[in-house]
Amino acid sequence: MGSTAEIAQAISRELDATGHSVAVSEMKGIDSVEGYRAVVIGTPVYLAAIEKEVAHFVTRHRDGLSRIPVAAFAVGIAPVDHRVGSVEDVLEKLRASLDPVKPVAVIMFAGRLELTRMSFVQKTMTGLMKVLTGDFRDWDAIRAWARELPALLKA
Ligand SMILES: Cc1cc2nc3c(=O)[nH]c(=O)nc-3n(C[C@H](O)[C@H](O)[C@H](O)COP(=O)(O)O)c2cc1C
Determine phi and psi for 77, rounding to 5 degrees: -100, 0
Ligand 1 center from residue 77 Cα (angstroms): 6
The predicted pLDDT at position 128 comes to: 67
Residues with CB under 6 A from ligand 1: 1-4, 44-48, 75-78, 84-85, 111-113, 118, 122, 125-126
Mean pLDDT by 10 residues, the chain (155 residues): 97 95 96 96 96 98 97 97 94 98 98 83 76 92 97 87
Which CATH superfamily, name and number, covers 3-154?
Answer: Flavodoxin domain (3.40.50.360)
The predicted pLDDT at position 130 comes to: 76
The predicted pLDDT at position 141 comes to: 98
Ligand 1 center from residue 32 Cα (angstroms): 28
Q: Where are the domains of the chain?
A: 3-154
Sign of the C-alpha dihedral, residues 59, 64, 68, 73?
Answer: negative
Instruction: Indicate the pTM of the whole model.
Output: 0.95
Asked if 63 and 31 count as a contact pair (C-beta separation under 8 A), the reply is no
Q: Which atom of ligand 1 is nearest to the CA of 121?
A: 1
The Cα 147–Cα 14 span in angstroms is: 7
Determine the distance from the C-alpha atom of residue 137 to the mean position of all C-alpha atoms in its chain, rounded to a whole number.
12
The Cα 112–Cα 1 span in angstroms is: 9
